[in-house]
Amino acid sequence: MFTRQDEGPVIDDSEFLPLVECVLTAFEAIDHAVAEELWEHAFAVYDRACQDADPEWSTAENRGLMQSYLLGKRRGEHRR
């Protein structure tokens, strides 16, 4: 999904990340351990994209930003 996002047309994070959340949440019902690995991978990919855009932001800040766009239990409150 992130590769498709890179290749465009780009969907705004506020729409794209809830879509990612829907897919990963579906995996939680099948295999929680695999879902956790996928979430960590998604956070890492998002962090790399954020670092490319603004290297001043830390991994924790980028993770918080991603979480701020989520709608479910992983939602955070941090927005740029």
> Is the pLDDT score of 25 beyond 80?
yes
Residue 16, in any domain of the structure: no
Residue 47, in any domain of the structure: yes
Please count the structural domains in the chain: 1
> Is the pLDDT score of 77 beyond 70?
no
State which residues form the domain around 48. Answer: 1-7+29-71
Residue 77, in any domain of the structure: no
Residue 20, in any domain of the structure: no
Residue 21: in which H helix or E strand, if any? Answer: helix 13-30
Burial degree of 35 (CB within 10 A; 0-12, 13-18, 19+): middle
Q: Residue 8's pLDDT is what?
A: 75
Measure CA 75 to chain center.
10
* Whole-structure pTM value: 0.85
> Is the pLDDT score of 16 beyond 90?
yes
Residue 21, in any domain of the structure: no
Residue 17, in any domain of the structure: no
Residue 54, in any domain of the structure: yes
| pLDDT category of residue 29 using cuts at 50, 70 and 90 | confident
